[in-house]
Structure 1
Amino acid sequence: MTLALNLRFDLARLSDTELAKRCDAIWADVEELERDGGPIRTSPRWRGPVRHPRAYLFWAMVRQSSASELEILLSAFAANTSLADVVSRMPRIRLHLALCEMQDILDEMKSRTPSPLRPAPSRPESI
């Protein structure tokens, strides 16, 4: 377990069925990426010390972008263009963000599941 600052409060507010729907949407996006451009090779992902989609984009820019992709992203920052539009044209970074999102959802599901090492507190019997 790594030490990280979790800023994914949006996932804690979702129900289990909403989390499952988000998982399905992410897998559909990954399948669409594979259909459009074939299998995408990506380096092992590292989510970084902060759990938030904007932080994932930052780390994707720093660690995975080629020089041309980095120039495009920096130009988008300078031109105040929507990053979602720019990232949607970069399949490798889009895949990285989708996989990080999926890992966040799995972490949230795991935190909701009771662990045998951490049993639920028992209620005292009435006297």
Structure 2
Amino acid sequence: MRFGINLRGDLAKLSDEEIGAKYEALISDIERLVQSTREGARRKPFYLAAMASFGWRGLLHAPIFYKMQAVVFGCLHVLQGNSSINRNGIELYLLDCEFKDTRDEIKRRVRRRQLAAA
């Protein structure tokens, strides 16, 4: 599971069908962005640089905090002279955080139903 404070009440309000559709859409978006990044760059995807720079979702799990973290770590990364991160890397990081939050919500629902059935 995750470490941090869940501030994603918006995901908890979605129905099972809606969260499933969101999960599938996020997978498609991530695959599309990774593919376009690979084709455009002809080298390692910027996603790897983004994950190495940002690494984790932070203590507060909400899109606004992910954006703030991306700005801070993106600026620090550029100040260190490493220009391997770009807009695609940041967008992919944000999509990955959203994907992980959605996955965690699905796991929470499954666990809750298992406990209720037991």
Identify unmatched segments of 5+ residues in structure 2.
39-44, 80-85
Q: Which residue, 85, 109, 113 being the options, matches 1:112? A: 109
Query: Could you tell me which residue of structure 2 aligns to residue 33 of structure 1?
Result: 33
Which of the pair has the greater relative contact order for Cα pairs under 8 Å at 6+ separation? Answer: 2
Q: Deviations over 1:62-89 (max 9, x none)?
A: 2244438xxxxxxxxxxxxxxxxxxxx8
Report the TM-score when normalising by structure 2.
Answer: 0.70
Report the TM-score when normalising by structure 1.
Answer: 0.66
Q: 1:110 to 1:100 in 2, by over 3 A?
A: same
Give runs of ≥4 in structure 1 deviating > 6 Å.
Answer: none
Query: Could you tell me which residue of structure 1 aligns to residue 83 of structure 2?
Result: none
Percent identity, aligned pairs only? 34
Query: Could you tell me which residue of structure 2 aligns to residue 93 of structure 1?
Result: 90
RMSD (Å) for aligned C-alpha atoms: 2.6
SS in 2 for 1:120: helix
Supply the AA of the counterpart residue of 1:119. L
Identify unmatched segments of 5+ residues in structure 1.
69-88, 123-127
Partners of 1:2 and 1:101 lie apart in 2 by: 13
Supply the AA of the counterpart residue of 1:14. L
User: Number of residue pairs matched?
Assistant: 101
